[in-house]
Structure 1
Amino acid sequence: MATLDIKKYPDEVLKNKAELVNDLSGDLQKLIDDMIETMYNFNGVGLAAPQVGVLKRLIVIDTSARQENQSLIVLINPEIINSEGEILSEEGCLSLPGFITRLKRNERVFVKGLDRKGNPVEIEATGLLARALQHEIDHLDGILIIDRISPLKRELFRRKYLKTKK
């Protein structure tokens, strides 16, 4: 296993839509293992393949440190099939280090996809897991948390962030 480089804003790969995974071969299994190690090494609760430069519909999530009765989740080709309610909460992102904002997300989500062996999986989630699923699936569609804030806040963030990168 290896720790992968996390792509940071404004890397273009983060704005692209990921492709469906059709091959569950050894290359994908190695990517899954590397993504899990990377997520843990950076103390994240989730990681999407585009965040490590791979435009595939693959996410890993582990909210167990902050939410009871949870464990590591690997989802291939995940999609939200239904959602309910609304909740406002703080959110950060490994691709936007140091940036935290309050975002509205659905309170409950129903997600389907495949596990790492290709078996169908359905997840009903609330709390942090629901937020993490929505966040990581956003990455698969080229959406960052800054795309979900007001244009004024986004412009202030962009100026401040890019100024610190110079």
Structure 2
Amino acid sequence: MKHLADLLLLGDPRLYETCEPVRREELPLVAGWVADLHNVMEEIRATYQFGRGIAAPQLGIMKRLFYLNVPGPGHAGPQVIINPEIVQASDDMDELWDDCMSFPNLLVRVRRHRSLTLRYRDEHWQEHTWAVTDWSLSELIQHEYDHLNGVLCTMRAVDAQAFRWRPTPV
């Protein structure tokens, strides 16, 4: 089982690599990968009081997979996203202060698409197409998707002043 200490941190060269697709024959490995992602996300939540998604490469698993667990009403609960492809993104964009588990004390101002359509497979290898109109989910999916392509939100900063420290949790 992987833990918070296994999380790759800003500067680790693996965070800048493009991940390989998950192959169907690797499906038996997915449950273990997801358990590790879930465990580390829970440790991040307990330590830093944030975390709704985590990408496999953040744990050194260089596969096109991310795990979402968005709390609150109206959310589907934990979701495993395998081999995602953004097939459409809105022209309408917005800015936000983005955060990342790989640099938990840093916030970065970025621009993201307000909505998107995502094609992916789930942990049962079923294909899905998801029209994401919720801004909060759209920006989260784009953040995790970027990780699979070796792109960190630091690389999407809107300008040179787009960085700030996260306030310390009380």
Alignment-derived partner of residue 103 in structure 2: 96
Asked if 1:130 is matched to 2:138, the reply is yes
TM-score with structure 2 setting the length = 0.83
2:65 aligned partner: 58
Counterpart in the other structure of 1:27? 29
Q: Secondary structure at the match of 2:30?
A: helix
The normalised TM-score by structure 1 is 0.85
SS where residue 81 of structure 1 aligns?
strand
Deviates more, 1:37-46 or 1:126-135: 37-46
Moved over 4 A (4+): none
Matched, 1:16 2:17: yes
The 1-side partners of 2:61 and 2:68 are apart by 17
Q: Percent same amino acid among aligned pairs?
A: 26
Q: How many residues align?
A: 155
| 1:145 lines up with 2:153 in the alignment | yes
The aligned amino acid for 2:3 is T
Task: For 2:131 and 2:29, locate their aligned partners in 1 and report how far apart those are by CA, in whole Å.
Answer: 29
**Partner SS for 1:113:** strand
Structure 1 CA distance for aligned equivalents of residues 69 and 139 of structure 2:
12
Letter of the 2:98 partner, please give it.
E
CA-CA distance at 1:128 after TM superposition: 1.3
Residue matched to 1:69: 74
The match for 1:45 is 52
Q: Corresponding residue for 1:164?
A: none
Q: Secondary structure at the match of 1:152?
A: coil
- Paired with 2:106 and 2:145, the residues of 1 have a C-alpha distance of 19
Counterpart for residue 168 of structure 2: none
Gaps of 5+ in 2: 46-50, 166-170
**CA-based RMSD:** 2.0
* 1:83 aligned residue: 89
Gaps of 5+ in 1: 161-166
- The offset of 1:153, in angstroms, is 4.3
